[in-house]
């Protein structure tokens, strides 16, 4: 056991020394300095006001909303959805830290081993498909298709495009010949078991688009048919590596340009991304054959302040814009809509008209809320009944907005578009809120504070004092301030702090939190560490004296209780009073 723990510990500590948590998280979340910390919108839950805080001095993060937090490893695991062993390996690779041959990255348990095996078979499959496309006669149909779409060799190479022939066991045979784990290929969605035994290929007769995560690892594939058969696109099924409601095609190649410009362009197809990339526009991503989700938007707002959604001009494209409005509003991300001419998609448009024409249309994109209202009003044909219906459709969306200023601006815009007084719009919103309350949909109000809540508030004051003034831990022990505590979680945290102090001769809260693993005590300590200090440095001594007074008052109170009919206990009370206040 010791042989495992030593390299585990040394690798983890070396990575921590190499990585600055603000720099790391800042690659995925837009952070702004706020006092000693940096804050931003949490990438793990919906919010419009920043509650996500990162401390450069303590090298931890914490969300005061969803309570998710921890160190660099905790962030990497949560953001990229990988096990701990893979987080260690990823960060070691990213920051050029050499890992020992044993330790977490080499023996991470069944989950990590399965995850790694799926990545390995995906990598082998990507090479197989790419070589078939570029070097085999069997890949000629795929080459012809990409030539017709004007996809150049450099894009084929950089995005590792491939081809799957009509052979039912082409990939299966290739994997078997290389002694790859075929069960892992099944788990990765590449092979399908036959009822009679053996396996056959999922992807056949399709141009293959490998799908990458942010570490440029192949986590899945999209395949497009070359004829009129259905489905037109076939994706890897949901796996531990591949969740199409969270992944975006091309983000691994686009995120730097997106961060630089502050704007992301969202298109519908793989070839749309590739065509724009070919023409020098590298800030576009595509969904994987699915509608936009809150997870997509949450991921993108870490890089961009604004999204421009490019929809086809047909009814389906416009309907997609309408569906995504509430997602952008709920996630607090600015969004606009760019509509292409009839029978055009970004691929065809930019190849016919050039990049500048595309950029010109992009600059004319309209705010999504205006697009939504204009579309609905066009359907209304100036009929009063339809205008009322539009109002009733929009008000539930506005009701979701927690930012009152933002809601007021949208109410004004809606009033202007519909020609209805703002007071009537507000009245409809109030009606919607009332209906929600009656139906029980509204979140329950917080439970009333139980008896003793004031005392627990005192517990938190004492915890704050010690966390932000670790040198006071000695007086905490000497004055026996522990007797003032009643909250079990705070007691546990402070007991660990006292143990750290007695063992090491000093208190380091960052060291203590490592002994708390993902429970409520860990959340409490992390939140306290990232909260502003309650006491100024010049107030600490006075605060400690006040806490000491409470200890003596508690002793006197207990003596009085015991003294009821007990002369010996009653005689102790004056001594206690003289000892403290003389």
Q: Are 418 and 386 in contact (CB under 8 A)?
A: no
Residue 325 lies in a domain: yes
Task: Using CB atoms within 10 Å of the CB of residue 437, give its burial: 0 to 12 exposed, 13 to 18 middle, 19+ buried.
Answer: exposed
Residue 52 burial (CB count, 10 A)? 25
213 and 224, same domain (yes or no): yes
24 and 62, same domain (yes or no): yes
At 4 the pLDDT is: 38
At 2 the pLDDT is: 40
* Per-residue pLDDT band at 189 (split at 50, 70, 90): very high
* Per-residue pLDDT band at 154 (split at 50, 70, 90): very high
At 167 the pLDDT is: 95
Which range is least confidently modeled, 36-45, 256-265, 358-367, 437-446? 437-446
Residue 174 lies in a domain: yes
570 and 464, same domain (yes or no): yes
- Integer Cα distance of 87 and 89 in angstroms: 5
CATH code: domain of residue 322 = 3.40.1360.10
Last residue of a domain, one of 61, 88, 107: 107
- pLDDT tens digit string along 96-111? 777 775 544 444 556 6
* Per-residue pLDDT band at 378 (split at 50, 70, 90): confident
Q: Are 283 and 254 in contact (CB under 8 A)?
A: yes
Domain that holds residue 432: 381-439
98 and 126, same domain (yes or no): no
Any idea what the Cα angle at residue 39 is, between residues 33 and 42, rounded to 5°?
Answer: 155
Among 158, 159, 133, CA closest to 144: 133
Strand partners, 311: 339
- Integer Cα distance of 33 and 55 in angstroms: 10
Residue 38 lies in a domain: yes
Angle of helix 520-530 relative to helix 488-504, nearest 10 degrees?
70
Q: In sequence order, which ranges of 51-108 are alpha helices (DSSP H)?
A: 72-80, 84-94
Last residue of a domain, one of 389, 416, 439: 439
Task: Using CB atoms within 10 Å of the CB of residue 56, give its burial: 0 to 12 exposed, 13 to 18 middle, 19+ buried.
Answer: middle
Residue 246 lies in a domain: no
User: What mean pLDDT do residues 283-287 have?
Assistant: 96
- In sequence order, what E strands does 247-392 have? 263-267, 284-286, 306-311, 334-339, 366-367
258 and 283, same domain (yes or no): yes
Higher pLDDT, 181 or 390: 181
Residue 244 lies in a domain: no
CATH code: domain of residue 96 = 3.90.580.10
Any idea what the Cα angle at residue 455 is, between residues 449 and 460, rounded to 5°?
Answer: 95
CATH code: domain of residue 490 = 1.10.860
At 327 the pLDDT is: 86
Q: Hey, what are 265's tokens?
A: 């362009």
Which range is least confidently modeled, 163-177, 232-246, 315-329, 423-437? 315-329
- pLDDT tens digit string along 383-400? 677 777 778 778 877 877
101 and 117, same domain (yes or no): no
At 153 the pLDDT is: 96
How many domains, in total, are found in the chain?
Answer: 5
Residue 510, classed as helix, strand or coil, is helix
Residue with tokens 């609905």: 376
Any idea what the Cα angle at residue 367 is, between residues 246 and 273, rounded to 5°?
Answer: 45
- pLDDT tens digit string along 60-85? 999 999 999 999 999 999 998 888 88
Last residue of a domain, one of 354, 373, 392: 373
457 and 577, same domain (yes or no): yes
485 and 577, same domain (yes or no): yes
Q: Are 329 and 397 in contact (CB under 8 A)?
A: yes
Residue 448 lies in a domain: no
81 and 123, same domain (yes or no): no
- Integer Cα distance of 222 and 224 in angstroms: 7
85 and 138, same domain (yes or no): no
Which range is least confidently modeled, 15-19, 127-131, 352-356, 574-578? 574-578
At 179 the pLDDT is: 92
71 and 123, same domain (yes or no): no
- Give every CB contact of residue 67 below 8 A, 6+ residues apart in sequence: 523, 527
- Integer Cα distance of 389 and 14 in angstroms: 61
- Give every CB contact of residue 214 below 8 A, 6+ residues apart in sequence: 28, 80, 251, 252, 255
Q: Distance between terminal CA atoms of the chain?
A: 57
Q: Are 35 and 111 in contact (CB under 8 A)?
A: no
Residue 245 lies in a domain: no
Higher pLDDT, 283 or 560: 283
At 449 the pLDDT is: 34
At 5 the pLDDT is: 43
Strands 218-225 and 233-235: antiparallel
Residue 240 lies in a domain: no
480 and 417, same domain (yes or no): no
Q: Phi, psi at residue 284, to the nearest 5°?
A: -120, 145
At 71 the pLDDT is: 92
- Integer Cα distance of 40 and 402 in angstroms: 17
Q: Hey, what are 381's tokens?
A: 């044909």
User: What is 355-407 written as a DSSP string?
Assistant: HHHHHHHHHTPEEHHHHHHHHHHHHHTT-HHHHHHHHHHHHHHHHT---HHHH
């Amino acid at each position: 056991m010791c042989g495992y723990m030593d390299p585990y510990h040394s690798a983890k500590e070396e990575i921590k020394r190499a990585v600055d948590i603000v720099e790391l998280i800042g690659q995925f979340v837009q952070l702004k300095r706020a006092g000693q910390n940096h804050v931003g919108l949490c990438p793990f839950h919906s919010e419009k006001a920043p509650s996500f805080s990162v401390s450069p001095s303590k090298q931890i993060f914490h969300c005061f909303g969803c309570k998710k937090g921890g160190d660099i490893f905790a962030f990497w695991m949560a953001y990229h959805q990988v096990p701990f062993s893979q987080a260690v390996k990823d960060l070691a690779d990213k920051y050029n830290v050499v890992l020992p041959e044993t330790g977490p990255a080499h023996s991470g348990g069944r989950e990590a081993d399965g995850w790694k095996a799926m990545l390995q078979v995906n990598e082998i499959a990507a090479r197989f498909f790419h070589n078939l496309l570029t070097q085999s006669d069997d890949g000629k149909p795929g080459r012809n298709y990409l030539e017709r779409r004007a996809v150049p060799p450099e894009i084929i190479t950089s995005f590792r495009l491939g081809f799957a022939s009509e052979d039912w066991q082409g990939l299966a045979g290739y994997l078997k010949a290389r002694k790859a784990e075929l069960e892992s290929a099944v788990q990765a969605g590449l092979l399908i078991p036959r009822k009679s035994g053996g396996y056959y290929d999922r992807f056949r007769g399709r141009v293959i688009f490998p799908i990458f995560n942010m570490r440029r690892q192949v986590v899945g594939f999209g395949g497009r048919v070359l004829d009129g058969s259905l489905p037109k696109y076939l994706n890897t099924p949901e796996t531990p590596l591949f969740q199409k409601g969270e992944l975006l095609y091309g983000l691994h190649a686009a995120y730097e340009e997106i961060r630089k410009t502050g704007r992301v362009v969202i298109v519908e197809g793989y070839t749309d991304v590739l065509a724009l990339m070919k023409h020098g526009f590298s800030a576009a991503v595509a969904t994987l054959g699915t509608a936009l989700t809150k997870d997509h938007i949450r991921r993108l707002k870490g890089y961009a302040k604004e999204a421009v959604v490019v929809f086809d001009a047909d009814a389906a494209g416009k309907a997609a814009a309408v569906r995504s409005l509430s997602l952008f509003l709920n996630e607090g991300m600015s969004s606009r809509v760019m509509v292409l001419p009839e029978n055009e998609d970004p691929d065809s448009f930019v190849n016919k008209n050039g990049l500048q024409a595309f950029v010109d249309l992009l600059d004319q994109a309209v705010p999504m809320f205006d697009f939504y209202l204009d579309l609905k009003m066009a359907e209304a044909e100036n009929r009063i009944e339809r205008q009322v219906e539009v109002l009733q459709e929009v008000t539930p969306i506005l009701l979701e907005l927690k930012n009152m200023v933002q809601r007021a601006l949208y109410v004004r815009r809606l009033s202007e578009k519909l020609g209805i007084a703002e007071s009537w719009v507000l009245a409809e919103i109030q009606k919607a809120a009332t209906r929600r309350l009656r139906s029980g949909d509204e979140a329950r109000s917080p439970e009333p504070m139980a008896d003793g809540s004031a005392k627990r508030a005192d517990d938190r004051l004492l915890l704050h004092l010690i966390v932000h003034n670790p040198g006071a831990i000695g007086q905490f022990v000497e004055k026996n301030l522990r007797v003032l505590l009643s909250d079990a979680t705070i007691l546990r945290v402070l007991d660990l702090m006292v143990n750290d102090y007695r063992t090491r001769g000093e208190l380091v809260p960052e060291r203590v939190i490592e002994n708390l693993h993902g429970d409520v005590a860990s959340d409490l300590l992390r939140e306290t560490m990232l909260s502003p200090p309650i006491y100024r440095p010049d107030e600490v001594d006075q605060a400690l004296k006040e806490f000491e007074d409470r200890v003596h008052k508690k002793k006197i109170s207990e003596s009085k209780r015991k003294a009821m009919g007990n002369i010996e206990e009653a005689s102790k009370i004056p001594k206690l009073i003289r000892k403290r206040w003389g």
